[in-house]
Structure 1
Amino acid sequence: MAAGFAQAGNQLYTGERSYPFIQRSNRWFLIAAVIILISVAIPLLRGGFNLGIEFTGGSEFTVSQTENTDVSIGEQAVADVSGQTATVTNIAPGTVRVQTEQLDEQQTLEVGAALQEGYGVAADQVSSTYIGPVWGAHVSQQMMIGLVIFLVLVTLYMAFYFRTWKMSLAAIAGLGFVVVTTVGIYAATNFEVTPSAIIGFLTILSYALYDTMVVFDKIRENLEPLHEQKDQTFTERVNLAINQTLVRSVNTSVVGILPVASILFIGSLLLGAGTLQDIALALFVGIIVGTLATIFVQAPLYARMRRNDADILSHTEEVLALREERMIEAGIASVTYSGTPLDEEGRPVAFPPLPEPEPEEEIEDEEEWDIVIEGGPADGAPAADGHSTESR
């Protein structure tokens, strides 16, 4: 299996095998637009996000050193006292966190006593705190400031590194797609949005940017000799760059997903470490979406933004015209979606060479030919050497 995967990677790198990422960009853009609309519609239809207590404010109780970590006990204790629906989470072995809406002093004491009785712990093993919504608003404000600063720095860096603002714009558009999609999945799964989740959002932006830089750097490398060669068009060379980095992108994503999946599924679901699921879900979704965004959104968008440049159009017309001549002379029947010519039997012919000029016809016999010199003897008259000057 590993050998087959390595062989497939070599075929993608050399161009022997090619997937039409750029040639089918309209399809990818349509799918991306639908995903964005769904991601925006979900929180609107659900009435917003499931914000954590850090953003909404409320009361929080922590029960420690308990042998019974059943969440239903905490939910029932809050419901009996205040009639509210509590959010109960196992945050560590033997530790339970209970979050509710704001309670008054009397209700706080009664809920604490109910939790002490329900979990069978002493009074000093139940602690309570109150978190005001002002703190959550401050966190949201700082998050937005950090996001804006991050995007500005990324834009400037990519414009300086690649020497083109179009790559920066395509990269930022892809990052926006990653964030919107991840947020939409958070809303669809009703996962609680906490400061840990916000940290996860910012982390996936960095990861998605790394994959984008790898692919864009290969695109730049392939485009440097664009006008010096006449075998491939601009679109084909960009598509080749994506195929050449495809295996690396997949491998990097798998390596990143495996530990995150362990945290999400083993740590939070099996071991009950509920505090890890916020950041783990953001990372898990973001790594996958970030890789797909580079391949199906950012690189095709950059190609779309540049393909109508004057120099690109001129080069493309020249390549296609030369290719048509070579196909006619070499007997090529058709061209695949990736621009690979096919012979009459449908077999791929990568870049057919220009046909060799036919050698000049040689005189087979050694029959002697005489040259008639203007002003010489009349036709048929004997020449000085005794030969006839009759033309043959």
Structure 2
Amino acid sequence: MSRLGNLGARLYNGEVGYDFIGKRMIWYGVSILITITAVIGLAVQGLNMGIEFKGGAVFTTQKVDVSVADATAAAESVSEHIPLVQGLGNGGVRIQISGVGTQEANEVQKGLAEALDIPASQINADLVGPSWGAQIANKAWTGLGIFMILVVIYLAIAFEWRMAVAALIALIHDITITVGIYVLVGFEVTVGTVIGLLTILGYSLYDTVVVFDSLKEGQKGVTKQTRFTYSEIANRSINSTLVRSINTTVVALLPVAGLLFIGGGFLGAGMLNDISLSLFVGLAAGAYSSIFIATPLVADLKERDPQIKALRQRVLAKRAAAGARDESAGSGEGSGRDDQDDEPREAGVGSPGRHRGQGSDKRR
């Protein structure tokens, strides 16, 4: 078995683990800081909206013996706006200029033909009105709202309302991080970006539901035992699915990275680049939120339940009594101590897997 497989088995059996729930305030703080930064950046700088939302013209040439730098200089010389120039795989160039009307677009087309020393017929001009972009944005917001409502209803039925609330917060968290990256780095927001943002919601939910399903199984009969608190069971659920979450995220990120760095970087595919960029950021944010945000939020909400509070008190009281017996036993050699009373600490790393191993050693 590989090292990763070994680690996965040990995580699943509770032999090793990380205290995600106990250190949740750190991750909450990181997410809050990112959210505040994104909101401030959005208010001060705003998003760099693409031509689809602001309106303008896109000029595409056939194969020309002109570099991107020369095409950029030519576009700047014939237009008062800052152009966005991309090289195309067929040897042509794509020149995007925002805020250009019909009359000005005709003049820019003629000026580009003279500056690039090519016939004007070899330059295709496409005008984009801002009203079209506004319609796309409105439809995207409508779709997002419907999606969120359906997600909450489904998760509340399939799991419980606390998990539905936690998943909704995690989704908003993922969108906020992705938008924050676009604001801070200055990436252009296009229709492809909107498509990517809507797509990552499904990926984000996938990882979250995997952990929730493990937690749903682990919490059966939770109030009838005194070995673990609910937070410890939640922590174990995260650890038991951690390797699976990492594997699925890496496998999903690899082809997206190929689209982003090869398709966008080498082939100059504009729309493909926009979609893959939002997917790449959103997938990473979704994996983070499913582990560090969603399940800890469920534990926080669940610990407010009177039955779960009573369970915590019973578990801690039993451990305190076991500790008092150990102290009164003497030097701590543990000659008369039963392994079944050796309860895990609050971190939730201890588990039945370790108890089974210890018990089998005693029987041997």
**Fold match by TM threshold 0.5:** yes
- In structure 2, the partner of 1:27 is 26
**What CA distance in whole angstroms lies between the structure 2 residues aligned with 1:41 and 1:350?**
52
What's the counterpart of residue 337 of structure 2?
A: none
Deviations 1:308-344 (A, max 9, x none): 2111011122222223333444557996552567xxx
Q: Which has the higher contact order (CA 8 A, sep 6+)?
A: 2
Aligned to 1:72: 69
Residue equivalent to 1:275: 271
Secondary structure in 1 aligned to 2:194?
helix
- TM-score, normalised via structure 2 length: 0.88
Structure 1 position 338 matched with structure 2 position 350: no
Distance 1:339 1:141 in 2: 45
- Name which of 197, 208, 223 aligns with 2:204: 208
Q: Is 252-261 or 321-330 further displaced after alignment?
A: 321-330
Instruction: Structure 2 unaligned segments of length 5 or more: list them.
Output: 327-331, 335-341, 360-364
Whole-angstrom CA distance in 2 between matches of 1:105 and 1:263: 34
Q: Report the TM-score, using the length of structure 1 for normalisation.
A: 0.82
Residues 1:50 and 2:28 are matched in the alignment? no
**Secondary structure of 2:16's partner?**
coil
Identity of aligned residues (%): 38
In structure 1, C-alpha distance between the alignment counterparts of 2:150 and 2:137, rounded to whole Å: 20
Report the Cα distance in structure 2 between the residues aligned to 1:262 and 1:337, rounded to whole angstroms: 42
CA distance in 2, matches of 1:32, 1:157: 26
Q: Residues 1-392 of structure 1: matches in 2 within 5 Å?
A: 3-46=2-45, 48-68=46-66, 70-105=67-102, 107-162=104-159, 164-329=160-325, 331=332, 336-339=345-348
Residues 66/26 of structure 1: CA separation in 2 closer, same or farther (3 Å cut): same
Q: Secondary structure at the match of 1:259?
A: helix
Deviation of the 1:265 alpha carbon: 1.1
Give the residue type in structure 2 aligned to 1:17.
Answer: V
C-alpha contact (below 8 Å) 1:61/1:126 kept by paired residues = yes
Q: Give the number of aligned pairs.
A: 345
Taking the aligned partners of 2:168 and 2:201, their CA distance within structure 1 comes to: 10
CA 1:119–1:85: 2 relative to 1, 3 Å: same
Higher helix proportion (structure 1 or 2): 2
1:69-110 CA distance string (max 9 Å, x none): x22233222322232211112344323221213445554333
Bigger drift between 97-106 and 183-192 goes to 97-106
> 88-97 or 310-319, which moves further after superposition?
88-97
Counterpart residue identity of residue 185, structure 1: I
How many angstroms apart in 2 are the aligned matches of 1:132 and 1:34?
Answer: 37
CA-atom RMSD in angstroms: 2.5
Counterpart residue type for residue 112 of structure 2: L
Residues 65, 125 of structure 1: 8 Å contact kept? no
Deviation for aligned residue 1:7: 1.3
Long gaps (5+) in structure 1: 342-347, 354-392
How many angstroms apart in 1 are the aligned matches of 2:357 and 2:143?
49
Q: 1:352 to 1:319 in 2, by over 3 A?
A: farther
For residues 166 and 104 of structure 1, do their structure 2 counterparts lie closer, same or farther at Cα, with a shift above 3 Å needed?
closer
